[in-house]
Structure 1
Amino acid sequence: MKEPFKSAIPVLELIERYGFKAYFVGGSVRDYILGLPINDIDIASSATPSEIKEIFPKTIDLGIEHGTVMVLHNNHSYEITTFRSESDYVDFRRPTSVTFIRSIEEDLARRDFTMNAVGMNRFGEILDPFEGIVDIEAKTIRTVGMASERFSEDALRMLRGIRFVSKLGFVLESDTYQGIKDNKHLLTHIAVERIAAELDKLLSGYHTSQGIQLLIDTEIYKYIPGLPDKKAALLELSQLQIHSLFIDEKWALFSHLIQKGEKEIKQFLSSFRFSNKRVQQISYMSKWLSERFRNSWSIDSVYACGKETALQVEKIYQAYQSKVDSFAVDRLQAIIDALPIHSLADIKVSGSDLIEWKQKKAGPWVKDVLKEIETEILNGRLENDNEVIKEWVTKCSLN
């Protein structure tokens, strides 16, 4: 058994030493079966939170009312959740209450998809009561039990299913697909922040195109804030090979495809409750991407855009074009390398210097002169040196 399971085996051993059962469960087991990289592991146990806290001296209460305790053991942290069953869901997201149980099979029965309803003991033996391995091998996403029941319990599961298509390249089983189509309206009960988090994960997948196409085919996009009138842009995005782009680069491209002004783009991004900083960064990339479609890079545009953003925008532009233009990248890098300054802060004079040299009171003229100096330096007509600039300023009749 490989890491990170190997380091966690002593945790399972200790729980079992006290007479309880413990398993690795969920997505980590699925990814282990698929041979994919594993970051976090989840542990489920028949021990209740109070019993886990008696076994391990160092714990942190996370969602203890739902059975989850964080255990600190051998310089690692592990989330351990008690086997549980769930009551009726009244808000299409969470059960009104949970009941701690001793059966791993009953615990797995409440999970979303068969591929996630698998457990593994410390010996690497798989527990698979819902034939999740069969579906994993068939690359199929199927709900545990009736799709309509699973989705009416937690409407976010519909987006999770599509997100797993984007991540894994699997296909939705027919009843699961139909369940999304029939219950898509329930997504209106889910908080925007939760929906946005799933969209981020969907766009982060290697098979993004398939995921976006499912948003269209199931018409679930009509119930996602910001997307009801964006079918054309979604369709165009689904036809592009954009797996090489980072998540915010994909959002910038999507924003460009919407073909709206900067104000409308910011409103669109804000509808997902992104942070103001993130909205600014994505809309800025989108703005310069639109400029890149109109013109090639120049010294002025690269300087105004900023070198980091310019490189990102070129990457997005080439992804849209479905080609790698190494000449264009080399030309952009050459412009960046040739820039004498990268911002106003790089200029070797300050506003105070100008006031002293011109013997004038502070005012708007200072900003204007600094702008003229910036332009002269950028275009190679003035050396970025304090004494050289002083001579130029004192000789010129500026403002």
Structure 2
Amino acid sequence: MWQGATRILRALADAGFEAYVIGGAVRDLVLKQTPHDYDIVTKARPDDIIDIMAKAGFNTTGVVGKSFGVVVVMVPEGSYEVATFRRERYGADSHRPEEVVYADTLEEDVARRDFTVNGMAMTAQGEVIDLVGGLKDIKSRTLRTIGNAEERFQEDALRLFRACRFVGKLGFLPHRSLLDGMAPNFKRVEGLSLERVRQELDGLLVTPHTAKGLDVLVQSGLADCRCRVLMNGEYELVPILPELHHLVGLPQQPEFHAYDGWVHTLAVVQAIKPDLTLRWAALLHDVAKGMDGIRGFHNGRITDRGHDQLGAQMAEVILTRLQYPKKMVQRVAWLVSSHMRFHFFANNQDADPWRWMRKEAQSGRFRKSSELKEAVQQMAEVCAADVIGCGRPHSSTDGTYAMGECLAAITESMPIHTRDLAYGPELPALLGDKTGEILQALLVQVRSGQVANEPEALMEAAKRKLARKARKE
């Protein structure tokens, strides 16, 4: 990919125009990471870019978004966005610039960008052009805005969420000036679309250092803000994640938890693999702790009985409000509602996992056995992270994963639907118009363990059913 970028840079330079790789690609190269893509900026205007690329033998798509002056250039290594230097002026809109004009210098283009680590440029020879102190901030692992933080966030309120995401992505500490510049612009968040905010939340949740980014989101007060969604032709304000703030500093019983409610939650989210469903479940698994009717005391010890069930209700409300797909909402709510039960089964040898899985199979929540199997495997991941997140020394997740494997094995022989029954084509031929009725009866028998989910066993059981029906008739 770097070779393709240098092809374009050299073609522009040969035509007499400054050109640089800019932004995230430079940051990643400085960090010795592989960039996902390479953005290029140049003094050349879009029409010049198109002509120069044509003469160099490269195809272009023309101008992509005339107000931004971006041309997509195709070279053998792939496609690259080439943008003309520009300046922006912001107005009432919380995200989009009111005016975009072409600029003549790299300095002007860099000055409009968000963070110093994203404001560095690189020549075709690999020389870093740092006009904003990005190299220094990378060395000190600091996230800082370019220029005045309050002004940068006032220009584009989505940068507030991008700040959290970049803290999570890079693991850098936010500079004091960045944190101080956030709150004065929280009112601007109300002009952001829910879709944009949700995209940033999703990005944050799957970052390598998500706990750090989430901590900025919540402790700054940004999670308490509202964004907007268009409903029936009118904008409505939607709370983002105010339900999380009460966990900050929330006491927990020391024998079981080394951390308060919020630090525990962060530890659980960080401990689980970066899958969106799993990380939402981890983030919300204890969201109801400390709530009225949940927080209590028994023999001088803190209790939160029922937090799993209320937490599931809250998770469903939160994710529905944020307009996540119904299937994902239901799965996260199930994981939250079931995590304490899973812990009970993992720690009590007398508990009957077959009975639990039979109940789930009959609940109507799952359409097929593979869905239930996936759910219990996800549950094992959530609960293992929960164990790790308690911060107790010598904690082991072996029993947690063993219970997950046990439940997953049970689901393989626990049919949800008659489609999960392992019968051959001769069975419907035998049953004729009684197929549906007898398959339902076989489903119940297989779930209860009376009949094995195998072709021969199902055929024999079906024959017995037919014989009994014939005698009654």
The normalised TM-score by structure 2 is 0.75
Q: Does residue 1:382 correspond to 2:411, yes or no?
A: no
With over 3 angstroms needed to count, the CA separation of the structure-2 counterparts of 1:396 and 1:327, relative to structure 1, is farther
Superposition map of 1:1-12 within 5 A: 4-12=1-9
Could you tell me which of 3, 10, 13 is aligned with 1:13? Answer: 10
Shift of 1:359: 6.4
With over 3 angstroms needed to count, the CA separation of the structure-2 counterparts of 1:132 and 1:371, relative to structure 1, is same
Could you tell me which of 244, 250, 253 is aligned with 2:282? Answer: 253
Q: Once the two structures are superposed, what CA deviation does each residue of 1:336-381 show, in whole Å capped at 9, x if it has no partner?
A: 346435553231349995796486596xx557424323324xx264
The answer to whether the 8 Å contact 2:149/2:181 transfers is yes
Q: Matched residues in 2 for 1:392 and 1:361: separation?
A: 14
With over 3 angstroms needed to count, the CA separation of the structure-2 counterparts of 1:231 and 1:10, relative to structure 1, is same
With over 3 angstroms needed to count, the CA separation of the structure-2 counterparts of 1:360 and 1:26, relative to structure 1, is closer
Could you tell me which of 53, 56, 61 is aligned with 2:53? Answer: 56
Shift of 1:267: 2.9
Q: Matched residues in 2 for 1:350 and 1:255: separation?
A: 44
Where in structure 1 do 4 or more consecutive aligned residues deviate above 6 Å? none
Could you tell me which of 238, 256, 273 is aligned with 2:266? Answer: 238
Give unpaired runs (5+ residues) of structure 2. 227-238, 249-261, 289-309, 347-351, 362-370, 389-394
Superposition map of 1:159-198 within 5 A: 159-198=161-200
Shift of 1:282: 3.1
Q: Matched residues in 1 for 2:11 and 2:243: separation?
A: 55
Query: Please, which moves more after superposition, 246-255 or 382-391?
Result: 382-391
Q: Matched residues in 2 for 1:116 and 1:350: separation?
A: 61
Shift of 1:396: 5.2
Q: Structure 2: which amino acid aligns with 1:231? A: H
Shift of 1:243: 4.2
Q: Once the two structures are superposed, what CA deviation does each residue of 1:230-271 show, in whole Å capped at 9, x if it has no partner?
A: 313572422436243222201022233234365543331122
The answer to whether the 8 Å contact 1:56/1:71 transfers is yes
Superposition map of 1:1-399 within 5 A: 4-57=1-54, 58-60=59-61, 61-224=63-226, 225-233=239-247, 235=262, 236-240=264-268, 242-245=270-273, 246-259=275-288, 260=310, 262=312, 264-289=314-339, 291-296=341-346, 298-302=353-357, 304=361, 306-322=372-388, 323-337=395-409, 339-340=412-413, 343-344=416-417, 345-349=419-423, 357=431, 365=437, 368-376=440-448, 379=449, 381-382=451-452, 384-385=454-455, 386-395=458-467
The answer to whether the 8 Å contact 1:383/1:389 transfers is no
Q: Matched residues in 1 for 2:74 and 2:65: separation?
A: 16
Q: Structure 1: which amino acid aligns with 2:266? A: S
Q: Structure 1: which amino acid aligns with 2:211? A: S
Q: Once the two structures are superposed, what CA deviation does each residue of 1:54-90 show, in whole Å capped at 9, x if it has no partner?
A: 2234222432321112111115011111110012332
Query: Please, which moves more after superposition, 99-108 or 62-71?
Result: 62-71
The answer to whether the 8 Å contact 1:29/1:119 transfers is yes
The normalised TM-score by structure 1 is 0.87
Query: Please, which moves more after superposition, 317-326 or 23-32?
Result: 317-326
Q: Structure 2: which amino acid aligns with 1:269? A: L
The answer to whether the 8 Å contact 2:415/2:446 transfers is no
With over 3 angstroms needed to count, the CA separation of the structure-2 counterparts of 1:84 and 1:324, relative to structure 1, is farther
SS in 1 for 2:21: strand
Shift of 1:313: 1.2
The answer to whether the 8 Å contact 2:43/2:104 transfers is yes
Calculate percent identity across the aligned residue pairs: 27
The answer to whether the 8 Å contact 2:53/2:73 transfers is yes
Q: Once the two structures are superposed, what CA deviation does each residue of 1:283-316 show, in whole Å capped at 9, x if it has no partner?
A: 3443443542453482454574622221111011
With over 3 angstroms needed to count, the CA separation of the structure-2 counterparts of 1:239 and 1:85, relative to structure 1, is same
The count of aligned residue pairs is 392
With over 3 angstroms needed to count, the CA separation of the structure-2 counterparts of 1:168 and 1:359, relative to structure 1, is closer
The answer to whether the 8 Å contact 2:204/2:213 transfers is yes
The answer to whether the 8 Å contact 1:135/1:141 transfers is yes
SS in 2 for 1:313: helix
SS in 2 for 1:65: coil
The answer to whether the 8 Å contact 1:46/1:102 transfers is yes
Shift of 1:187: 1.4
With over 3 angstroms needed to count, the CA separation of the structure-2 counterparts of 1:83 and 1:191, relative to structure 1, is same
RMSD across aligned positions (CA): 3.0
Partner of 2:233: none
Query: Please, which moves more after superposition, 291-300 or 34-43?
Result: 291-300
SS in 2 for 1:70: strand
With over 3 angstroms needed to count, the CA separation of the structure-2 counterparts of 1:110 and 1:243, relative to structure 1, is farther
